Amino acid sequence: MTALLEVEDLHVEFRTRDGVARVLNGVGYHVDAGETLAVLGESGSGKSVTAQAVMGILDSPPAHVTRGSVRFRGEDLLTADANRRREVRGEGIAMIFQDALSALNPVFTVGFQIEEQLRLRRGLSRADARARAVELLDLVRIPHARRRVRDYPHQFSGGMRQRAMIAMSLALDPDVLIADEPTTALDVTVQAQIMDLLAEIQRERRMGLVLITHDLGVVAEVADRIVVMYAGRIVEEADAHSLFHAPGHPYTAALMRSLPRLDAKGSALDTIKGLPPSLLSIPPGCPFHPRCPRAEDVCSVEVPPRERLGLGRTSACHFAAEVLHG
């Protein structure tokens, strides 16, 4: 069965005055109908750039897709013309951006910004588009939706703005929804409400959901599968239960050790020594080897392939089987 969304061998580089930054280096994953795929990793690992490449919204220059494919229902969007990509964007694949205040236009009401795409893409009248906008705001549980549809973004709280962004992204009934750090800067209670809302809408619509985050707690609650990124590469892929129970890459294991534990109250948190590499000069071999406690000579010379560790599990580590089994 063809996946809703398939990203394969995706390479993206940013050509800057300081040199060429290799931001994505062979990224590949897929998302099926009704599935939640979490994309996990530190800031700068390439999570958001992958999403922007999928959506076709990378600024070029400086960004250039140099290799790979992005297939939506089997159709490669990277080879499609601009009009076709525009058709897919919003209707096939939609995106919730990280900062709703920046993503929403401050000079137009929230209702107008939802209605505009309904009028342009669905041909609805102004009255029908307004009625649908009210329905969408009500769907994402914004109180007094009929009145709030006339408000501007700055009149909404952070959590309500994020709900408005979700309403806007759902307006054209997409098959795949990409949520880029949808709970950043929100308090824990609002985070839980937003994630519950996304999960409920996904179940009702059978959408594929790509959740980009660095929050392991959120991932543990909602993800079916997880890909872990480091320095523009996918270093591990597994179902959520397997990855949390037994990581198969030293980087993933280090991330897990950095989580606070209720049974270790008062003890210092583990940290990953060093810093992520500059994408202008990624180290040879495994990009994680300068920070890896298990690194050996081969790690600084050879790029490890993504080794299969079982059904649906891969790890890009020369010693993946040893890591997996402790």
- Which of 60-69, 127-136, 175-184 has the weakest average pLDDT? 175-184
Residue 174 pLDDT: 95
Tokens representing 126? 């102004």
**Alpha-carbon distances, residue 153 vs 106, 146, 158, 198 (angstroms):** 6, 15, 9, 20
Residue 251 in this model has a pLDDT that exceeds 80 = yes
**Domain map of the chain by residue range?**
5-103+175-324
Percentage of the residues of the chain whose pLDDT score is greater than 70: 98
- What is the DSSP code (8-state) at residue 281? S
Tokens representing 234? 């996918």
**What are the structure tokens assigned to 77, written together?**
């969007």
CA–CA gap between residue 91 and residue 171 (Å, rounded): 8
Nearest to 234 by CA among 18, 68, 63, 93: 68
First to last CA, the chain: 35
pLDDT given for residue 129 in this prediction = 97
Question: What residues does 65 pair with on adjacent strands?
Answer: 12
Q: Is the dihedral of CA 22, 27, 33, 34 positive or negative?
A: negative
Biggest CA–CA distance in the chain, Å, is: 67
How high is the pLDDT of residue 83? 94
Contact call for residues 203 and 196 (beta carbons, < 8 A): no
User: What's the chain's average pLDDT?
Assistant: 92
What is the signed CA dihedral for 37, 224, 215, 245, rounded to 10 degrees? Answer: -130
Per-residue pLDDT averaged across 276-299, rounded? Answer: 94
Neighbours of 139 (CB within 10 A): 17
Asked whether residue 212 carries a pLDDT value surpassing 80, the answer given is: yes
Which residues, other chains included, contact 183 with Cβ-Cβ below 8 Å and sequence gap of 6+? Answer: 162, 190, 191, 194, 195, 213, 215, 218
Q: Which two tokens stand for residue 250?
A: 């030293």
- Cβ 227 vs Cβ 40: under 8 Å: yes
Q: pTM for this structure?
A: 0.92
CATH number of the domain at 5-103+175-324, out of 2.60.120.10, 3.40.50.620, 3.40.190.10, 3.40.50.300? 3.40.50.300
